[in-house]
Amino acid sequence: MEISLVEACKKLHFGSGLAAKAKKIKAETHVDFLLQLFTSEIEERERKRRNNYMKAAKFDIIKTFENYTFEDRLNMLENSGKLCLLEFSAYSASSRQA
């Protein structure tokens, strides 16, 4: 029965994921079952469509240092033996003009 359900889903262009979703749905009536099944399929297709549109748009990626940790980079540099310490001095506007 499961094989015939997967084949029927393919013929109707639902995809084989619909058969897996059907096993998980608990409903009191056949109409409720179909409504839950089709609603989940519509949501999945909309999610995939949005993701495809986002990929096609090729938006610029905003990069920040908020969640970036430098520890991984420092460990990699230490292991390669190419770690060198840099000192930065703060310049004020008055010292640059002098």
Q: What pLDDT digit, counting tens, does each position of 68-84 carry?
A: 777 777 666 666 655 55
Report the alpha-carbon distance of residue 50 to residue 12 in Å, rounded. Answer: 22
Q: Would you list the domain boundaries of the chain?
A: 1-58
Dihedral sign of CA atoms 38, 4, 13, 58 in order: positive
Q: Taking residues 51-65, report their average pLDDT.
A: 86
- The reply to whether the predicted model has a pTM over 0.75 is no
